[in-house]
């Protein structure tokens, strides 16, 4: 059976070249560069570096700039839409950082001032503005975030999880990224010159692009999102693999996914950051894949590098190239680096574009490539058979009590495992040289990856979740920046501060070159990482690692995530599951039942979904409900409405207050299937026998967003 | 010169968090980048910041950087030759 194509119904965009797609496109065709010296904030005692600043996005001045950029793009994309999208999938790396930096420097200690700090608040603001009550997901994989958001949206549309999705990326300039890339000596003082023999780096930029994607028939389509390919270099936290190993894998997988040969590609929009290493690695990968290279260009000499926005802007530009039969030039290029073996377009050129490839590569070796095709230009893809359920083959958790065994033992003895993970007591079977640069969160994630891995094949794909990312690195970067009067930012902390840093480290540890996706869903991060795995892990010989963790940081946790320092002090930890597709020997199956916005309507929809989920009777319900929303009536009322009569476990009373507490609770559920008993301390003082062949458990997330995950016998 | 070398050993162990290295065991002539210590491009940049902050010397050229960071001894030599005192 052929598959319904995924069409681009509308594009919303705000970039340094203009406040909409049309002005941006005109600027690109004119070969104009919008890169100029930074004016958005003052840089003491320094010549401002060239950046790409977007025009004022307008909107509510109380919101951080990333949110306002995303909202401006969302409004444009939804203009003329018949109704709200079923889901929002947004890539971002900075979230509210630009505002938080100012407040932190000013010593603002009121946590209300940081309520828009979290990456997840950007997609939440967009979902609220466009009236979307379905999933509002946040992808954070550094410079490939926008591309990975589109790849996840494509998979959700193909699998019928949604019929229309608003997807893309947004980031605003902030000190963290401005000084961070500068500290890595990755910024070109002459502006950005991709593929030039004198290229010296990128220009950090900002912007947003959101694409309205749909499987519904359209009167006029702006192009088909035809394929996506994801990979991880599994090589270095910041530098690309010199041979472009991961870049090549991502492009190959995108072509395979699109069902097209390399010869079908008429135009390539390069990642082309203008850094010496990126352009060299990308060129090597391209020359391996294409016998004859089609016309190609990087638009980062015109727009700069909009980080999470870049992949979405470039996918939209690829779609415009397909629609108009025009390809933008490689703005900024003066003297071509002949050693690269590429011949970029020096100015906009006309020519039929039936299929275009768009590349994005990010820190963590995190790569994504997309194929955009003219509507109906190629035969429809054959629909793949439905994938078997995800099954769990291994598990691990970390809590204040220590590793999995210590955590379960504490539960059984009636002690609370909540607290800060005693990392120093955990034997980490890793060389000191690999650990020395890693702070708390990557150490938690590597420990979990090691503990869950067991003896079998190492995971080939990694799906990670973290509500708040590497707080220690972010804190230390900003502290040193401000203490040195903005003179001496730390390159190590900058690289460590990216949200997907820990998952990139895990990929190096496991040599996992498959998809590497980090979701930043606030307290829904575990459920979002699972959703990403369900849609982007295709099985095969190597299992996937689903890992979700958060660190407790004495200064940042209470500011950003109020409630985390409740009565029990600072808590952290996480959980990891080793997943495969199908197989009756697994411990249990795992699937998402619900993702949606909160509120009374949301609860009613969640209850209806639970009622309609067939299966054996529920044995146990684990509820993750943050302290600020704790109202004992809510989960009981919900379960009554859903017709569920099962013992209820309040995860955070057990595991402590932190965004990834649900991941620890998920491990409790899996441990019950593994042992055939509900561990002591969960619902009763004694361990309770449990028929694992008929058992079913539910993990509910009742925070700002509502999520439901089902664990069932294989 | 020897004093500068000893000073740099302590600084590098600190900023690069070389936990299993002591100043006594730090061979100033051993290959610094890509050698046994696992020092890579990010560490080089961290050292660049330190050299600028503590010695007032800017290294923003990759070719120069490769020579300077060949070993701890070459780093010490470069600092001595280029320190504002030596230049004046």
Q: Does B42 touch chain A (CB under 8 A)?
A: yes
* pLDDT score for A147: 98
The Cα–Cα gap between A603 and A591 comes to 19
Confidence check: pLDDT of A97 > 60: yes
Nearest CA in chain B to A182: B45
List of chain B residues whose C-beta atoms are within 8 Å of the C-beta of residue A432: 19-20
The Cα–Cα gap between A464 and A549 comes to 8
* pLDDT score for A688: 85
The Cα–Cα gap between A230 and A307 comes to 17
Nearest to A603 by CA among A632, A629, A634: A634
List of chain A residues whose C-beta atoms are within 8 Å of the C-beta of residue B60: 185
Confidence check: pLDDT of A514 > 70: yes
The Cα–Cα gap between A137 and A562 comes to 21
CATH class of B2-87: mainly alpha
| Interface ipTM | 0.92
Confidence check: pLDDT of A1 > 80: no
Nearest to A700 by CA among A606, A604, A576, A600: A606
Whether residue B49 and residue A183 make contact (CB cut-off 8 A), yes or no, is yes
The Cα–Cα gap between A120 and A139 comes to 9
Q: State phi, psi for A510 to the nearest 5 degrees.
A: -95, 0
The Cα–Cα gap between A360 and A269 comes to 9
Asked if A7-373 and A390-712 have one fold, the answer is yes
A407 secondary structure, DSSP code: H
Min distance B50 CA to chain A CA atoms (Å): 8
The DSSP bridge partners found for residue A398 are A574
The Cα–Cα gap between A417 and A682 comes to 11
pTM for this prediction:
0.97
| Structural contact between residues A443 and A525, judged by C-beta atoms closer than 8 angstroms | no
Whether residue B49 and residue A237 make contact (CB cut-off 8 A), yes or no, is no
| Structural contact between residues A444 and A572, judged by C-beta atoms closer than 8 angstroms | yes
Confidence check: pLDDT of A293 > 90: yes
* pLDDT score for A564: 80
Min distance A18 CA to chain B CA atoms (Å): 33
Min distance B42 CA to chain A CA atoms (Å): 6
Number of cross-chain residue pairs from A and B with Cβ atoms under 8 Å apart: 48
Tell me the average pLDDT across A112-130. Answer: 98
| Structural contact between residues A229 and A328, judged by C-beta atoms closer than 8 angstroms | no
* pLDDT score for B86: 60
* pLDDT score for B60: 79
C-alpha distances in angstroms, A152 versus A42, A155, A162, A198, A535? 37, 5, 11, 37, 7
Q: Does B61 touch chain A (CB under 8 A)?
A: no
DSSP-derived 3-state class of residue A556: helix
**HSE-CB for B85 with a 13 A CA cutoff:** 4
A204 secondary structure, DSSP code: B
Decide the pairing of beta strands A705-712 and A696-702: antiparallel
- Rg (Cα) of chain A, in Å, rounded? 24
The DSSP bridge partners found for residue A581 are A390
Confidence check: pLDDT of A671 > 60: yes
Whether residue B18 and residue A495 make contact (CB cut-off 8 A), yes or no, is no
**Confidence at A414, pLDDT banded by 50, 70, 90:** confident
- Rg (Cα) of chain B, in Å, rounded? 12
Of A433, A484, A492, the CB nearest to B46: A492
Q: Does B38 touch chain A (CB under 8 A)?
A: yes
DSSP letters along A318-348, please? HHHHHHHTEE---TT--SB-GGG-----SS-
Nearest to B4 by CA among B67, B77, B56: B77
| Structural contact between residues A364 and A387, judged by C-beta atoms closer than 8 angstroms | no
Give the angle A162-A467-A651 at the CA atoms, nearest 5°. 95
Confidence check: pLDDT of B87 > 60: no
Show which residues on chain A lie within 8 Å of chain B, measured between beta carbons.
Answer: 183-185, 236-239, 276, 431-434, 436-437, 484, 487-492, 495
List of chain B residues whose C-beta atoms are within 8 Å of the C-beta of residue A437: 16-17, 42-43
Confidence check: pLDDT of A453 > 90: no
Residues 6+ apart with CB under 8 A from A712: A588, A589, A590, A591, A615, A616, A695, A696, A697
A379 secondary structure, DSSP code: P
List of chain B residues whose C-beta atoms are within 8 Å of the C-beta of residue A491: 42, 45-46, 49
Give the angle A210-A212-A213 at the CA atoms, nearest 5°. 125
The Cα–Cα gap between A370 and A567 comes to 48
DSSP letters along A26-94, please? HHHHTT---EEE--SS--TTSPPPEEEPPPP--S-TTS-HHHHHHHHHHHHHHTT-SS--SEEEEE-S-
The Cα–Cα gap between A445 and A506 comes to 7
Q: Look up residue A327 and give its two tokens.
A: 């390809």
The Cα–Cα gap between A380 and A357 comes to 18
DSSP-derived 3-state class of residue A267: strand
Whether residue B46 and residue A491 make contact (CB cut-off 8 A), yes or no, is yes
* Least confident range of A102-116, A137-151, A340-354, B72-86: B72-86
Whether residue B42 and residue A495 make contact (CB cut-off 8 A), yes or no, is yes
List of chain B residues whose C-beta atoms are within 8 Å of the C-beta of residue A183: 45, 49
Whether residue B19 and residue A432 make contact (CB cut-off 8 A), yes or no, is yes
Q: Does B63 touch chain A (CB under 8 A)?
A: no
Q: What is the largest CA-CA distance in chain A?
A: 75
Q: Does B73 touch chain A (CB under 8 A)?
A: no
List of chain A residues whose C-beta atoms are within 8 Å of the C-beta of residue B41: 236, 238-239
Confidence check: pLDDT of A386 > 70: yes
Min distance A486 CA to chain B CA atoms (Å): 12
- Token pair 């309507």 is found at A601
Tell me the average pLDDT across A361-372. Answer: 97
The Cα–Cα gap between A604 and A618 comes to 19
Q: Which fold has domain A7-373?
A: Peroxisomal Thiolase; Chain A, domain 1 (3.40.47)
Element (H, E) at A506: helix A501-510
Nearest to A88 by CA among A663, A595, A606: A595
A358 vs A695, more confident: A358
Whether residue A491 and residue B42 make contact (CB cut-off 8 A), yes or no, is yes
* pLDDT score for A396: 97
Provide, for chain A, the percentages of residues in helix, strand and coil under a 3-state DSSP scheme, each rounded to the nearest 5: 35, 20, 40
| Structural contact between residues A660 and A525, judged by C-beta atoms closer than 8 angstroms | yes
Q: What whole-number percentage of chain A has pLDDT above 70? A: 99
C-alpha distances in angstroms, A646 versus A496, A615, A620, A691, B59? 42, 14, 5, 14, 65
Q: What whole-number percentage of chain B has pLDDT above 70? A: 95
| Structural contact between residues A580 and A429, judged by C-beta atoms closer than 8 angstroms | no
* The CATH number of domain A390-712, selected from 3.30.70.3040, 3.40.50.2300, 3.40.47.10, 3.40.50.2020: 3.40.47.10
| Structural contact between residues A651 and A559, judged by C-beta atoms closer than 8 angstroms | no
Considering chain B, what is the average pLDDT of its residues? 90
Whether residue A495 and residue B41 make contact (CB cut-off 8 A), yes or no, is no
The Cα–Cα gap between A619 and A608 comes to 19
List of chain B residues whose C-beta atoms are within 8 Å of the C-beta of residue A434: 38
Nearest to A395 by CA among A709, A593, A672: A672
Confidence check: pLDDT of A472 > 90: yes
Whether residue B45 and residue A184 make contact (CB cut-off 8 A), yes or no, is yes
Domain ranges (residues) in chain A = 7-373, 390-712
Residues 6+ apart with CB under 8 A from A160: none
Element (H, E) at B35: none
Confidence check: pLDDT of A227 > 80: yes
Helices A175-183/A471-483 angle, 10° precision:
80
pLDDT in tens, A626-648: 988 887 678 999 999 999 999 99
Decide the pairing of beta strands A461-465 and A516-519: parallel
| Structural contact between residues A203 and A300, judged by C-beta atoms closer than 8 angstroms | yes
Nearest to A371 by CA among A225, A210, A264: A225
Interface test with A, best of B36, B49, B63 (most A CBs within 10 A): B49
* Least confident range of A574-578, B16-20, B61-65: B61-65
Min distance B83 CA to chain A CA atoms (Å): 18
The Cα–Cα gap between A100 and A118 comes to 10
Considering chain A, what is the average pLDDT of its residues? 95
Residues 6+ apart with CB under 8 A from A441: A466, A469, A470, A471, A472, A473, A501, A502, A549, A550, A551
């Amino acid at each position: 059976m052929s598959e319904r194509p995924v069409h681009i119904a509308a594009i919303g965009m705000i970039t340094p070249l203009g406040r909409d797609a049309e002005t941006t496109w005109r600027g690109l065709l004119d070969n104009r560069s919008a890169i100029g010296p930074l004016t958005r904030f003052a840089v003491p005692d320094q010549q401002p570096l060239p950046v790409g600043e977007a025009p004022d996005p307008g909107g509510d001045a109380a919101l951080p700039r990333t949110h306002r950029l995303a909202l401006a793009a969302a409004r444009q994309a939804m203009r003329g839409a018949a109704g709200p999208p079923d889901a929002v999938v947004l890539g971002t790396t900075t979230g509210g950082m630009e505002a938080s930096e100012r407040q932190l420097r000013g010593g603002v200690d009121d946590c209300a001032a940081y309520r828009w700090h979290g990456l997840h608040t950007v997609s939440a603001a967009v979902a609220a503005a466009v009236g979307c009550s379905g999933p509002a997901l946040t992808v954070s994989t550094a410079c490939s975030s926008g591309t990975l958001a589109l790849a996840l949206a494509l998979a959700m549309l193909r699998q019928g999880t949604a019929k229309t999705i608003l997807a893309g990326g947004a980031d605003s300039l902030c000190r963290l990224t401005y000084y961070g890339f500068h500290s890595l000596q990755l910024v070109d003082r002459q502006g950005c010159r991709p593929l030039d023999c004198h290229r010296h780096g990128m220009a950090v930029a900002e912007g947003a692009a959101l694409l309205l994607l749909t499987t519904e028939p359209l009167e006029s389509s702006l192009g088909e999102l035809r394929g996506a390919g994801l990979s991880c270099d599994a090589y270095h936290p910041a530098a690309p693999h010199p041979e472009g190993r991961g870049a090549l894998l991502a492009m190959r997988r995108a072509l395979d996914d699109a069902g097209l040969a390399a010869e079908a590609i008429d135009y390539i929009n390069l990642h082309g950051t203008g850094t010496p290493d990126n352009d060299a690695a990308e060129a090597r990968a391209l020359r391996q894949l294409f016998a004859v290279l089609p016309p190609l260009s990087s638009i980062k000499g015109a727009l700069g590098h909009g980080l999470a926005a870049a992949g979405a802007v470039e996918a939209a530009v690829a779609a415009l190239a397909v629609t108009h039969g025009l390809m933008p030039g490689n703005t900024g290029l003066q003297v071509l680096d002949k050693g690269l073996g590429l011949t970029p377009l020096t100015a906009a050129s006309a020519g039929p574009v039936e299929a275009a490839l768009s590349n994005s590569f990010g820190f963590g070796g995190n790569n994504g490539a997309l194929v955009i095709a003219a509507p109906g230009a190629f035969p429809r893809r054959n629909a793949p058979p439905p994938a078997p359920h995800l099954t769990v083959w291994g598990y691990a958790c970390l809590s204040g009590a220590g590793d999995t065994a210590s955590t379960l033992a504490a539960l059984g003895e009636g002690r609370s495992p909540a607290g800060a993970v005693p990392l120093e007591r955990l034997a980490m079977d890793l060389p000191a040289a690999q650990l020395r640069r890693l702070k708390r969160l990557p150490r938690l994630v590597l420990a979990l990856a090691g503990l869950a891995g067991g003896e079998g094949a190492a995971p080939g794909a990694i799906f990670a979740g973290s509500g708040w990312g590497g707080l220690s690195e972010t804190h230390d970067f900003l502290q040193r920046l401000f203490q040195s009067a903005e003179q001496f930012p730390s390159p190590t902390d900058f690289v460590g501060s990216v949200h997907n840093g820990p998952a990139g480290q895990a990929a190096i540890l496991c040599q996992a070159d498959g998809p590497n996706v980090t979701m930043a869903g606030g307290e829904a991060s575990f459920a979002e990482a699972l959703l990403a795995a369900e849609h982007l892990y295709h099985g095969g010989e190597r299992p996937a690692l689903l890992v979700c963790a958060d660190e407790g940081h004495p200064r940042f946790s209470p500011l950003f995530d109020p409630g985390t320092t409740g009565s029990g002090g600072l808590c952290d930890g996480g959980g990891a599951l080793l997943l495969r597709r199908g197989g009756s020997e697994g411990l249990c199956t795992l699937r998402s039942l619900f993702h949606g916005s909160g509120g009374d309507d949301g609860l009613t929809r969640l209850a209806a979904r639970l009622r309609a989920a067939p299966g054996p009777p529920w044995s146990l319900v684990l509820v993750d409900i943050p302290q600020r929303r704790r109202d004992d009536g809510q989960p009981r009322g919900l379960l009554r409405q859903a017709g569920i009569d099962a013992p209820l476990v309040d995860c955070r009373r057990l595991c402590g207050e932190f965004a990834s507490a649900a991941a620890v609770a998920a491990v409790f559920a899996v441990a019950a299937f593994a042992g055939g008993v509900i561990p002591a301390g969960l619902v009763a003082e004694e361990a309770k026998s449990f028929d694992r062949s008929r058992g079913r458990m539910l993990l509910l997330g009742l925070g700002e967003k509502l999520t439901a995950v089902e664990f069932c016998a294989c | 010169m020897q004093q500068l070398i000893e000073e740099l050993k302590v600084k590098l162990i600190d900023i690069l968090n070389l936990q299993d290295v002591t100043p006594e065991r730090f061979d100033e002539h051993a290959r610094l980048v890509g050698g046994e210590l696992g020092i890579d491009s990010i560490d080089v940049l961290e050292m660049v910041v330190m050299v600028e902050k503590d010695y007032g010397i800017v290294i923003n050229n990759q070719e120069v950087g490769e020579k300077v960071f060949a070993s701890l001894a070459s780093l010490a030599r470069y600092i001595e030759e280029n320190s504002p005192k030596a230049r004046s």
